[in-house]
């Protein structure tokens, strides 16, 4: 077992082995960071070259010396605890070098991002002026994939280089890195020392003017008190963390010397007396308020140097444990896998602890037993017809969505239409077709008619039949999908869908198809042209929209659905609203209809997924 050294031993070892290394003794986090939080730094090293850095990293790794890496100190919060190790600042020497060729720019990680952009502009390179207001160094911007105004640093990266924390050289090309929102898959132990970028050719004077304008605008909104920039990551780009903090009533909230800025709610500011303990408590209060209002757990952008601080903030409030189930055995398996992965990403963005579970049969897995909530994105088959719901109920596992009885009823289009008829909800005239009566024309119906497998979703197997000659081949094909087919008269009109979440009906989405009706091609493949979705609808008025919402809520309640439902309609020329079908587990990609509807009311994708989980927890 390697020995842990005290600070005096570390100082002696560093001085003996690196006599030319620049060392600052007994400084403070306040002096090396813009936030001004934290106690003493006993040893601060400033290597001047990448070779000196590499040797220092190797030495510290070999001798079990704890290290912390900083740059300009603009996105960090120092610690109140005594840091028994070596703080290494990469802000000098070759780490500030910059040079350009005909098409590329090579820059050290210690150069300020604004200085990189100014240098580039002066030499006719640009297109990234929007990033100029981001404080801090190039290295810091790369590690967090910093961005502003629709641009991110990763848009311009060609190559990266640096070292592992043990001094081993590291390099990567842009396409080897997964660039996420305010995050990357660059290993946590990597110290980025520089990069190669490619900007577009621009007019130097115009680009410099743009940069100047960005910096002026930044100064107008940026608080004057000490801060570390934006404190929390955005959950959804459409609704920023700052807006959520503001709407949760947190502006001006304070804990001793720390407060939420009144100029920009995503800035926590230090009046000069704030401590790390004050910051921790303020972060927790802000997170709790936002969670109460928006059901999401904000995650910090600012880097902390104490593991206990990170854990205390990240685990407050305690993140729900969610198992997202996907896959299944229906024709909609691929759609389900897509939905499931997007829900996993959304809930992780919302700060929840998430396990992705792919199912081939209706079983309970260890991840599902361990979860607080199961979030099903199974479509069709056992996932939607009540089978999976019954398995969850029998195992006493809490899950998002309707119970087994309601799921079976909603999934079965024949039962849904019968329920609608019973409660006075207008439906198209219909007849049920099975193998026994499939060779007889549905004489009660007028052509054209629509054939729908009773227990398929996502418009799988749906067909428009224009005349008697087409009927027999079509019904034989349809019966391959299901034993019961719903044949209903085709209603010419405009198609709408209404989303219901937690007993609230949202603005209808109008569906404009390139063909005669909304079939599988119109929904997914688009070989006949694109389908357009409008929310709010382009056709109709408030009276019609309220009527559609009213009918949808009625079906939601009489079917005893829970949490979420999507209800589909055709509205004819006389504004008669014909109920088509409902979906208890609608598609859950960002392009699906329920997220489109709720985004109109500023309930965006991650928040929508989180709201369903939290509502289920409270039930």
Let me know whether 74 and 116 are in one domain: no
Query: pLDDT digits over 99-152, tens only?
Result: 999 999 999 999 999 999 999 999 999 999 999 999 889 999 999 899 888 899
Of residues 119, 181, 520, 524, which has the active-site annotation? 524
Range of the domain at 70: 7-93
* Rounded percentage of the chain residues whose pLDDT exceeds 70: 96
Helix 542-558 / helix 413-422 crossing angle, nearest 10 deg: 110
| Residue 432 resides in a domain | no
Among 61, 93, 125, where does a domain finish?
A: 93
The CATH number covering residue 294 comes to 3.90.78.10
Q: Please report where in the chains the tokens 């660059």 appear, as a residue.
A: 186
CA-based torsion, 564, 568, 573, 577: positive or negative: negative
The CATH number covering residue 51 comes to 3.30.43.10
C-alpha span between 183 and 477 (Å, rounded): 49
| Residue 539 resides in a domain | no
Among 280, 314, 348, where does a domain finish?
A: 314
Number of domains in the chain: 3
CA atoms within 13 A on the CB side of 267: 21
DSSP annotation of 4: P
Of residues 587, 592, 604, 615, which has the active-site annotation? 587
| Residue 420 resides in a domain | no
Of residues 207, 301, 332, 489, which has the active-site annotation? 332
Let me know whether 161 and 72 are in one domain: no
Give the bridge partners for 171, in sequence order: 161
Two tokens, residue 615? 């509502």
The CATH number covering residue 178 comes to 3.30.465.10
Q: Give residue 458's pLDDT.
A: 46
| Residue 54 resides in a domain | yes
Among 283, 314, 345, where does a domain finish?
A: 314
Let me know whether 43 and 64 are in one domain: yes
CA atoms within 13 A on the CB side of 83: 28
Let me know whether 76 and 114 are in one domain: no
Q: Give residue 516's pLDDT.
A: 67
Closest alpha carbon to 469 in 484, 449, 491, 485? 449
CA-based torsion, 48, 147, 591, 562: positive or negative: positive
Stretches in the chain below the pLDDT threshold 70? 1-2, 456-461, 515-528, 590
> Is 568 labeled as catalytic in the residue annotation?
yes
Let me know whether 269 and 197 are in one domain: no
CA-based torsion, 511, 514, 516, 521: positive or negative: negative
| Residue 344 resides in a domain | no
> Is 456 labeled as catalytic in the residue annotation?
no
**DSSP helix/strand/coil, 305:** coil
> Is 524 labeled as catalytic in the residue annotation?
yes
Report the alpha-carbon angle 138-143-118, nearest 5.
Answer: 15
Give the bridge partners for 577, in sequence order: 571
Evaluate whether 145 touches 218 at the Cβ level (below 8 Å): no
Let me know whether 79 and 24 are in one domain: yes
Let me know whether 61 and 158 are in one domain: no
| Residue 573 resides in a domain | no
Two tokens, residue 543? 């009276």
| Residue 117 resides in a domain | yes
> Is 414 labeled as catalytic in the residue annotation?
no
In our burial notation (b when 16+ CB lie closer than 10 A, e otherwise), range 14-42 reads beeebeebeeeeeebbbebbbbbbbbebb
Q: Give residue 521's pLDDT.
A: 56
Q: Taking the CB of residue 571, how many other CB atoms lie within 10 A of it?
A: 22
C-alpha span between 421 and 423 (Å, rounded): 5
Let me know whether 136 and 113 are in one domain: yes
Phi, psi of 291 (to 5 degrees): -65, -40
Give the strand order in the sheet containing 226-227.
Answer: 226-227, 268-270, 258-260, 254-255
> Is 4 labeled as catalytic in the residue annotation?
no
Closest alpha carbon to 575 in 531, 615, 533, 544? 544
C-alpha span between 254 and 261 (Å, rounded): 9
CA 320 to chain centre: 16
Closest alpha carbon to 336 in 589, 598, 599? 589
Q: Give residue 219's pLDDT.
A: 85
DSSP 521-556: IIIII-TT---EEESS-SSS-HHHHHHHHHHHHHHH
Of residues 114, 240, 414, 458, which has the active-site annotation? 458
C-alpha span between 177 and 144 (Å, rounded): 12
| Residue 457 resides in a domain | no
Let me know whether 17 and 49 are in one domain: yes
Of residues 568, 592, 604, 615, which has the active-site annotation? 568
Let me know whether 85 and 163 are in one domain: no
C-alpha span between 449 and 464 (Å, rounded): 6
**DSSP helix/strand/coil, 402:** coil
Of residues 430, 563, 566, 584, which has the active-site annotation? 566
> Is 281 labeled as catalytic in the residue annotation?
no
Q: Where are the beta strands (DSSP E) in 317-389?
A: 321-327, 353-359, 373-376
C-alpha span between 488 and 431 (Å, rounded): 6
CA 619 to chain centre: 25
Two tokens, residue 79? 């610690």
Of residues 581, 592, 606, 615, which has the active-site annotation? 581
Let me know whether 238 and 258 are in one domain: yes
Let me know whether 226 and 201 are in one domain: no
């Amino acid at each position: 077992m390697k020995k842990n050294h005290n600070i005096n031993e570390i100082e002696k070892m560093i001085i003996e082995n690196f006599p030319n290394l620049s060392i600052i003794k007994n400084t403070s986090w306040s002096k090396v960071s813009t936030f001004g939080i934290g106690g003493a730094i006993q040893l601060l090293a400033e290597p001047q070259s990448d070779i000196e850095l590499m040797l220092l990293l190797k030495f510290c790794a070999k001798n079990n010396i704890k290290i912390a890496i900083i740059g300009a100190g603009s996105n960090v919060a120092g610690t109140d605890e005594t840091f028994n190790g070596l703080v290494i600042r990469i802000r000098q020497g070759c780490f500030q070098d910059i040079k350009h060729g005909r098409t590329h720019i090579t820059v050290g990680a210690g150069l300020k991002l604004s200085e990189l952009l100014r240098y580039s502009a002066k030499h006719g390179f640009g297109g990234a002026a929007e990033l100029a207001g981001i404080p801090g160094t190039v290295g810091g911007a790369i590690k967090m994939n910093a961005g502003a105004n629709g641009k991110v640093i990763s848009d311009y990266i060609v190559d990266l280089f640096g070292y592992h924390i043990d001094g081993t050289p590291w390099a990567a090309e842009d396409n080897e890195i997964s660039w996420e929102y305010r995050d990357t898959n660059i290993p946590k132990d990597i110290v980025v020392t520089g990069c190669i970028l490619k900007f577009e050719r621009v007019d130097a004077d115009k680009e410099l003017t743009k940069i100047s304008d960005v910096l002026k605008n930044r100064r107008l909104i940026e608080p004057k008190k000490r801060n570390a920039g934006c404190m929390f990551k955005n959950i959804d780009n459409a609704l920023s963390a700052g807006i959520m903090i503001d709407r949760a009533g947190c502006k001006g909230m304070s804990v001793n010397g720390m407060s939420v800025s009144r100029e920009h709610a995503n800035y926590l500011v230090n009046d000069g007396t704030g401590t790390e303990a004050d910051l921790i408590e303020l972060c927790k209060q802000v997170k709790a308020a936002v969670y109460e209002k928006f059901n999401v757990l904000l995650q910090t952008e600012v880097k902390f140097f104490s593991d206990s601080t990170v854990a205390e903030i990240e685990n407050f409030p305690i993140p729900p444990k969610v198992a997202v189930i996907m896959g299944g055995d229906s024709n909609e398996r691929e759609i389900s896998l897509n939905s499931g992965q997007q829900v996993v990403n959304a809930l992780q963005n919302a700060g929840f602890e998430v396990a992705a579970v792919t199912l081939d049969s209706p079983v309970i897995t260890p991840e599902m037993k361990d979860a607080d909530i199961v979030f099903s994105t199974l479509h069709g088959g056992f996932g939607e017809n009540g089978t999976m719901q019954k398995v969850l109920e029998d195992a006493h596992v809490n899950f998002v969505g309707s119970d087994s009885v309601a799921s079976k009823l909603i999934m079965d289009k024949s039962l849904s239409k019968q329920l609608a008829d019973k409660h006075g909800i207008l439906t198209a005239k219909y007849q049920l077709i099975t193998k026994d009566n499939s060779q007889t024309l549905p004489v009660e119906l007028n052509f054209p008619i629509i054939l729908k497998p009773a227990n398929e979703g996502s418009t799988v197997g749906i067909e428009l039949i224009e005349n008697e000659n087409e009927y027999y081949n079509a019904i034989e094909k349809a019966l391959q999908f299901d034993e019961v087919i719903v044949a209903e008269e085709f209603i010419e009109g405009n198609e709408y869908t209404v989303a219901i979440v937690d007993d609230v009906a949202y603005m209808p989405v109008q569906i404009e198809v390139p063909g005669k009706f909304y079939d599988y091609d119109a929904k997914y493949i688009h070989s006949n042209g694109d389908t357009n979705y409008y929310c709010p609808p382009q056709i109709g008025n408030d009276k019609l929209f309220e009527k559609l919402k009213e009918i949808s809520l009625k079906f939601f309640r009489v079917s005893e659905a829970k949490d979420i439902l999507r209800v589909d309609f055709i509205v004819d020329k006389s504004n008669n609203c014909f109920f088509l079908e409902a979906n208890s587990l609608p598609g859950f990609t960002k392009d699906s209809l329920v997220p489109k509807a709720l985004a109109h009311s500023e309930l965006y994708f991650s928040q929508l997924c989180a709201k369903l989980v939290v509502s289920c927890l409270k039930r």
